[in-house]
Amino acid sequence: MRQSSRGKSADGCSQPSELFAWISSQDKVQPVASWTDRRLTCRYSYSPSSESSSYGEPGQDFGAVAVHGDAVRFVLCDGVSLSYRGDFGAKLLGEGLFEWLRGFPGMEIEPAVRLLKELSYKAGKALERLELPAELPPMLKDVLLEKRSRGTAAMFACGYLIRPTREREGKLWLMWQGDLRIRFWLAGQEQRLLPETSFRTEERWTSLNPGCGSELLAAAKSPHMAALPLSAKESGGLLLYTDGLQVLDAAGLPLSGSELTSALNGGAAGWLEDDASLLEVSWSGTEPDGKNGKRFQKH
């Protein structure tokens, strides 16, 4: 567990040290695990695809979550496989967003766009310094150099949650680009709080600069944002996952640990087609497996 005392809280006061922090390791399976404190629960998991694991290659997802008192910040990124080094792009973007969330941003779009542009510039410069292995066949080297010219790209979902208490209302703040799953349940039912049209596969962050004229750049729209109040009278939770776990799309919430483990292991086939990562934050005192209450169903 990492400890830190940096940052400011949502009300501008000094931010407490991290009670808990997790950052994914892109090159190995991290089974479903959970952390609980004061009616606040975080669950998280990560796995490269079965093919990537078999070749010893890193996954192209990136995930991180940290708890500061009653506040939780989180990020999930999915590197675009057709871009160059999607694993690198997802990690650089995720780390940048995760650090930025220490400041609990508001609904102003300009700071977010400025940050994403800064990360694009940083990624572009870093890609220029990444050298290809000298022993590569000339034809393969040409292919990779051409791919590198198109930059790295990733989709993301990030935000922070301030748990509601008897003394004050809570808050959920979200920002995203792409088709990562963002699901939310409240008072026993899944809620459709975000417009489905805002989750588009063609939208993503990219390392390319505005003068490139690439298809990847054309898809780099401004991110979407949402802020929602959370009542202390209602229990609830937030679930984020990448498309490697799309088998969960039809499942009711909250998900049991066995359901998550099965999906992460590739289901009955035992083969994970894509990289898979998941983050869940819930507040209510409900056990992670939902053993003390009924299963919530889609609404």
pLDDT in tens, 25-78: 999 999 999 999 878 999 999 999 998 888 888 999 999 999 998 999 999 999
Q: Which of 3-12, 81-90, 188-197 is predicted least confidently? A: 3-12
pLDDT for 217 equals: 45
* Domain range 20-283, CATH class: alpha beta
Average pLDDT, the chain: 84
HEC letters along the chain: CCCCCCCECCCCCECCCCCEEEECCCCCCEEEEEEEECCEEEEEEEECCHHHHHHCCCCCEEEEEEEECCEEEEEEEEECCCCCCHHHHHHHHHHHHHHHHHHCCCCCHHHHHHHHHHHHHHHHHHHHHCCCCCCCCHHHHHHHHHHHHCCCEEEEEEEEEECCCCCCCEEEEEEEECCCEEEEEECCEEECCCCHHHCCCCCCEECCCCCCCCHHHHCCCCCEEEEEEECCCCCEEEEEECHHHHHHHHCCCCCCHHHHHHHHCCHHHCCCCCCEEEEEEEECCCCCCCCCCCCCECC
Confidence of residue 293 (pLDDT cuts 50, 70, 90): very low
110: which 2 tokens?
A: 């300009």
Residue 98 has pLDDT above 90, yes or no: yes
Q: What is the pLDDT of residue 166?
A: 82
- pLDDT of 11 > 60? The answer is no
Smallest CA-to-CA distance from 171 within 38, 72, 76 is with 72
Q: What is the mean pLDDT of residues 176-187?
A: 93
* Average pLDDT of the residues in 233-245: 93
Q: Domain ranges for the chain, please list them.
A: 20-283
Residue 86 has pLDDT above 50, yes or no: yes
Q: Looking at residues 195-205, what average pLDDT do you find?
A: 89
For range 218-246, the mean pLDDT: 87
CB 240 within 8 A of CB 180: yes
73-77, 140-144, 161-165, 254-258, range with the lowest pLDDT: 140-144
What is the pLDDT at residue 276?
A: 95
pLDDT at 41: 93
**Residue 289 main-chain phi, psi, to 5 deg:** -90, 5
Q: 2 pLDDT exceeds 50?
A: no
Distance between CA atoms of 287 and 78, rounded to whole angstroms?
Answer: 29
